[in-house]
């Protein structure tokens, strides 16, 4: 059958399903394979072109089947994506949580299977309820519904925005859209590019050339937009040192190791006194603030102050009145100020439904796993003479939360204890998210970690300096404070989500019109 004839067949029914094409197991396997290779689009591999190509494969495979089959293929794609993309969950559960291998493996498989429901349900919804022609489905409905599913995954049940397609483009032309529409807008551009490529298989050669040109134009415009600067320097660049302690996770919380850890960080800090800002990673101090405030922190802060150095360090803080404790960053710039982590990791820093799952912490052996959430509105602490936007570990994945400190903050700091992930792709993925936050806000980001991916990221999302992994080192560099707001900082996700909802409504309206015209051919 000719390509143009295939297009007619695919558009013969109001829901865009080509009735002459039967679903095959081969198509299901291809959907899984497309999802399984998609993690290669993300760091540390960075083959960004895989993301729109994989989306094209999935959309094409779902465009001419029933809603039920579309769900199955979307789920298979998602299972491949998450099974190979977040496999490090097994490492965290087994190596550091001491969970038996079979139980850790089962937990990882179930976790990937649950995450795969998002793309599965998205493709089911887009195929089952949108009775539109194939071009409408591929260019309007699928990209919008896919992106909305990622957005839901980013906040529903506290959120897990790992492997959003937009992150794969942080160093690619489409990443230029980040300052305007954030990571979800970039995800839409990836999905829309995939829809254009999938449509190539439904059209004649001449129309195919137009579609390829459209992809090229979209990517070129995104690149050009990425060259526009919405922020400006707020002052001269200043020196920073990020201390990477490389403290093994298995000894970090042992009482006998505390003195050595404290001495290690103090000694490293004293070698850099005179640097304008020194940053320690998350929970670098493995004891409560009250236990080290006088004998340890006070003399260290005095020595730093005498040399014109400010300190920013991670440690737990306990409220003596309530007994609650917080995962915090402490700023010492002549006075003490705290940032308390707001977005906690479920089952890592707290247990949801604790009364029902009280024994889980004993099983996982997670130290200090009853943290309390910090207040949503917190004034940015000051270091090096500027307000700083702070996030701790997992929080860097939530762009809408990071921008709440902007435009006041002149730069951003993410402190992390990524030892939980071992030698996996997870720390690279976290750094990729930090780079996206830099592009969204056009601010420098300091990524201070315990054992790897410690880096200085500039306002364009480029890694300027990076420390070697699994070594105790000090990363020296400079930071340029900046002022101003990008469109994304001003408006957040509201414009892009509104546009996506309107696209969905337009698809539903178009489908209803099609059914009214041809009621006899409506299909379920």
Q: Note the pLDDT tens digit of each residue in 294-343.
A: 999 999 999 999 999 999 999 999 999 998 999 999 999 878 899 999 99
Look at residue 20 and tell me whether its pLDDT is greater than 70.
Answer: no
- pLDDT, position 4: 44
- Residue 415's DSSP bridge partners are 392, 448
Active-site pick, 62, 150, 349, 393: 393
Least confident span in 84-88, 89-93, 215-219, 458-462:
89-93
Q: Helix or strand or coil: residue 434?
A: helix
- What is the model's pLDDT at position 219? 98
CATH number of this structure's domain 232-485: 3.60.110.10
| Packing angle, helices 178-199 and 50-62, rounded to 10 | 50
Query: Does 282 qualify as catalytic in the annotation?
Result: yes
Categorize the per-residue pLDDT at 355 as very low, low, confident or very high, splitting at 50, 70 and 90.
low
- Quote the CA–CA distance of 450 and 268 in Å, as a whole number: 14
| Among 150, 252, 341, 480, the one annotated catalytic | 341
Comparison of pLDDT for 241 and 6, the residue scoring more: 241
Would you state the pLDDT for residue 515?
63
Residue 413, classed as helix, strand or coil, is: strand
Q: Which tokens go with 268?
A: 């490293």
Spatial CB neighbours of 212, under 8 Å, sequence gap ≥ 6: 196, 200
pLDDT at 522 over 60: no
Q: Please write the tens of the pLDDT for every residue from 193-223.
A: 999 999 998 888 778 889 999 999 999 999 9
Please give the pLDDT value at position 23.
66
How high is the pLDDT of residue 22?
58
Band (pLDDT 50/70/90 cuts) for residue 523 is: very low
> Tokens standing for 209?
């050339």
pLDDT band at 13 (very low <50, low <70, confident <90, very high): very low
What confidence tier does 521 reach under pLDDT thresholds 50, 70, 90? very low
**102 has pLDDT over 70:** yes
pLDDT above 70: residue 500: yes
What proportion of the chain, given as a percentage, has pLDDT over 90? Answer: 75
Contacts of 45 (CB under 8 A, 6+ apart): 39
Work out the mean pLDDT of the chain and round it to a whole number: 90
Among 303, 395, 275, residue whose Cα is nearest residue 344: 395
pLDDT digits (tens, 9 = 90+) for 118-146: 999 999 999 998 878 889 899 999 999 99
Say whether pLDDT at 255 is over 60.
yes
Over residues 498-504, the mean pLDDT reads 95
Catalytic member of 62, 150, 252, 282:
282
Confidence (pLDDT) at 363: 55
Look at residue 95 in the predicted model and tell me its pLDDT.
79
Is pLDDT at 448 greater than 80 in this prediction? yes
CATH 3.60.110.10 location in the chain: 232-485
pTM over 0.75: yes
How far is it, in rounded angstroms, from Cα 164 to Cα 212?
Answer: 24
pLDDT given for residue 2 in this prediction: 42
- 413: closest CA among 436, 444, 441? 444
């Amino acid at each position: 059958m000719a390509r143009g004839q295939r297009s007619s067949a695919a558009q013969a029914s109001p829901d865009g399903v080509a009735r002459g094409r039967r679903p095959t197991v081969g198509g299901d396997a291809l959907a899984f394979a497309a999802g399984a290779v998609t993690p290669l689009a993300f760091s540390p591999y960075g083959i960004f072109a895989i993301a729109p190509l994989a989306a094209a494969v999935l959309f094409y495979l779902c465009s001419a089947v029933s809603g039920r089959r579309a769900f199955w293929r979307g789920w298979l794609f998602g299972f491949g994506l998450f099974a190979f993309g977040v496999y490090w969950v097994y490492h965290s559960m087994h190596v550091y949580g001491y969970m038996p291998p079979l139980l850790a493996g089962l937990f990882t498989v179930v976790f990937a299977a649950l995450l795969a429901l998002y793309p599965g349900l998205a493709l089911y919804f887009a195929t089952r309820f949108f009775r539109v022609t194939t071009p409408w489905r591929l260019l309007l409905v699928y990209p919008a519904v896919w992106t909305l599913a990622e957005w839901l995954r980013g906040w529903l049940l506290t959120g897990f925005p790992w492997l959003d397609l937009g992150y794969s483009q942080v160093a690619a032309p489409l990443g230029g859209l980040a300052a305007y529409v954030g990571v979800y807008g970039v995800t839409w551009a990836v999905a829309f590019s995939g829809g254009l490529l999938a449509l190539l298989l439904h059209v004649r050669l001449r129309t195919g050339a137009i579609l390829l040109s459209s992809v090229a134009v979209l990517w070129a415009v995104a690149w050009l937009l990425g060259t526009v600067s919405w922020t400006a320097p707020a002052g001269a660049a200043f020196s920073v040192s990020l201390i990477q302690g490389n403290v093994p996770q298995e000894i970090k919380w042992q009482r006998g190791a505390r003195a050595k850890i404290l001495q290690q960080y103090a000694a490293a800090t004293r070698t850099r006194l005179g640097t304008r800002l020194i940053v320690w990673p998350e929970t670098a101090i493995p004891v409560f603030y009250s236990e080290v405030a006088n004998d340890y922190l006070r003399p260290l802060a005095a020595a730093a102050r005498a040399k014109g150095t400010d300190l920013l360090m991670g440690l737990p803080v306990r409220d003596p009145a309530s007994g609650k404790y917080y995962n915090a960053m402490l700023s010492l710039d002549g006075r003490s100020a705290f940032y308390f982590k707001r977005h906690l990791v479920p089952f890592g820093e707290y247990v949801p439904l604790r009364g029902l799952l009280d024994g889980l912490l004993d099983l996982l052996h997670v130290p200090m796993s009853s943290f309390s959430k910090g207040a949503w509105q917190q004034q940015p602490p000051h270091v090096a003479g500027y307000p700083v936007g702070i996030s701790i570990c997992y929080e860097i994945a939530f762009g809408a939360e990071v921008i709440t400190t902007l435009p006041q903050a002149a730069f951003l700091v993410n402190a992390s204890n990524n030892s939980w992930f071992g030698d996996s792709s997870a720390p690279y993925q976290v750094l990729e998210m930090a780079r996206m936050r830099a592009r969204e806000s056009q601010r420098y980001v300091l990524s201070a970690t315990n054992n790897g991916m410690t880096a200085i990221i500039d306002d364009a999302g480029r890694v300027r300096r990076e420390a070697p992994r699994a070594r105790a080192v000090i990363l020296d560099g400079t930071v340029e404070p900046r002022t101003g707001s990008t469109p994304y900082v001003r408006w957040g996700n509201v414009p892009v989500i509104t546009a996506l909802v309107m696209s969905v409504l337009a698809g539903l309206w178009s489908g209803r019109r099609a059914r009214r015209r041809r009621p006899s051919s409506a299909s379920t």
